[in-house]
Copies of this chain bind each other. A is one copy, B any other.
Amino acid sequence: MGRPGTAALLPAAPGPETGPSRWTAAEARARIRAGLAAPTAGTAAGFTQANMVSVPADWAYDMLLFCQRNPKPCPVLDVTDAGSWRTVLADAADLRTDLPRYRVWEHGEIVAEPTDVLAHWRGDLVTFLLGCSFTFEWALLAAGVPLRHVEQGRNVPMYVTDRQCRSAGRLSGPMVVSMRPVPAGRLTAAVTRSAMMPSVHGDPVHIGDPAALGIADLARPDFGDPVDAEPGDVPVFWACGVTPQAALTASRPPFALTHAPGRMFVTDTRDEQYRVA
């Protein structure tokens, strides 16, 4: 059921026995390093996934402060020392090669979308790994909340909202959200299960009306793929770790690297570590 041009890059929807959902994080990273460029929703069940943004050290304080001042879209899971491609979230991983696809940014413009950034790496880059809502999707599934984007073999849809983040130094920009259609009878489960994991965006920022976030048309996401709602589904919006990319667009730092939306860093950390109770 995937859309042309997207389905071929996607892992199969997770099943109980085989497929990407059963991979360990290390297996997922090995396949990605070898060339798999698919979105990572549904991959490596139970392992935390992370957004990535790398900025020159000169911009690191602004970015860290931006994240602190906007913890809902930008929950920081790790910050590297300048130049390092290692993270405490996965000891053996290489942040230059182990994400499915990257974006290279110059003055707020995307100049390349490579599958590794070995040729773009710089010794002054500080890398931020931010929580991702894919982390709580397993908890939603376990609570009977269907994941329409995974069922339909698509990347999760993401939208730039009209809510401005609190600025920090030279960085400002709007909040980005991800959207999942949730059956009305499962809304409480979706809210409470995600709320238990504040380090990966926590509870929704809005339920119901896209216009309340300034979103004109759910069928035209700014990132990812449109997803079909089933009858009785209600759109639920969670803050999204693509928000720093909207800040790069708005604030135009001279250089940055990020992941490509929906193509995350799969860590060795277990989702349960980010559940408060």
Contacts and interface: CB of A to CB of B under 8 A. Distances in A.
A65 B60 CA distance: 10
A259 to B, nearest CB: 19
Contact of A60 (B61, B166, B198, B199): B61
A191 B276 CA distance: 10
A76 interface: yes
Given A64-B68, A65-B64, A68-B64, A202 B79 contact: no
A32 B192 CA distance: 39
Given A69-B79, A79-B69, A198-B198, A277 B64 contact: no
A188 to B, nearest CB: 11
Interface string A197-215: 0110011000000000000
A196 B64 contact: no
A172 to B, nearest CB: 14
Interface string A57-87: 0001100110011000000100100000000
A276 B196 contact: yes
A149 to B, nearest CB: 25
Contacts of A195: 276-277
B202 A276 contact: yes
Contact of A64 (B64, B166, B191, B203): B64
Contact of A65 (B79, B88, B199, B203): B79
A115 B64 CA distance: 32
Contact of A203 (B191, B192, B196, B277): B277
A18 B13 CA distance: 60
A203 B166 CA distance: 28
A186 to B, nearest CB: 16
Contacts of A192: 277
Given A61-B64, A64-B64, A203 B79 contact: no
12 contacts: A61-B61, A61-B64, A64-B65, A65-B79, A68-B79, A69-B79, A195-B276, A196-B276, A198-B199, A198-B276, A202-B276, A203-B276
Given A64-B68, A88-B166, A192-B277, 6 more contacts: A60-B61, A61-B61, A65-B79, A196-B277, A198-B199, A203-B277
